[in-house]
Amino acid sequence: MSAAKSPVVVDITMSLDGYVTAPGADLAHGLGVDGLVLHTWVMEGNDADRAVLEESYAQTGAVIQGRRLFDFIDGPNGWNEEMGYGAKPHGETVPPIFVVTHQAPAKTRLGDRFHFVTDGLASAVQQAQEVADGKDVVVMGGGAICGSVLAEGLADTLRLHVAPIVLGGGTPLFRDEAPRVGLELVDAISTPAAQHLTYKVVKDS
């Protein structure tokens, strides 16, 4: 019997007013200027916040991200050997990451865990599902790639971590022209640092 097809999970943190970065996001400020407040739940959260992280890491078989996010991650202020998606201090296996881009970079700082997909989102999803072994394919950002996966009907689940802050600007998760997406709440965990909301994406039959 073949393994079940890996579900596609859009998983991202946003402010109460819908921004996934503060203003001024660039290679030096991946979350925008003073945007780290969005990830207080990751860095300073309580046991419930940590359980959300650990469960997500355990369920992840592959990751999809956009090129702008990759450029920050691979830059001098980005990830290192001890920091990254699901990185642990003892070097546990980390999932492969598929980067959606128009052109692959000539070289990368972080090695061969990144795979560059130049023929679109649907191809990235298919390639990620082929290696995820039935576990989740997690779309981690940035905002544009997450919004596009939802808009193109490729997502099965939307997992939002809503930080208790109004940023007033930055990178929005949902664009003004975004199509309607039906959602069904399937889980909600409340902590002082975030509201962790999991929605099933309701697809037309």
- CA neighbor of 48 nearest in space, from 199, 188, 191, 195: 191
Supply the pLDDT for residue 28.
Answer: 83
Supply the pLDDT for residue 87.
Answer: 52
DSSP code at position 3: P
Q: Which residues lie across from 9 on neighbouring strands?
A: 138, 157
Q: List the chain residues with pLDDT less than 50.
A: 1-2, 89
Which H or E element spans position 54? helix 47-59
Concatenated DSSP letters for 166-203?
A: --SSSEESS-TTPPP-EEEEEEEEEETTEEEEEEEEE-
Supply the pLDDT for residue 178.
Answer: 81
Which H or E element spans position 43? helix 40-44
Alpha helix stretches (DSSP H) within 60-168: 67-73, 121-132, 143-151
Please report, for the chain, the start and end positions of each structural domain, with discontinuous segments joined by +. Answer: 8-202
pLDDT for 131-170, tens place per residue? Answer: 999 999 999 988 999 999 999 999 999 999 999 999 999 9
Cα 131 to chain center, whole Å? 18
CATH topology of domain 8-202: Dihydrofolate Reductase, subunit A (3.40.430)
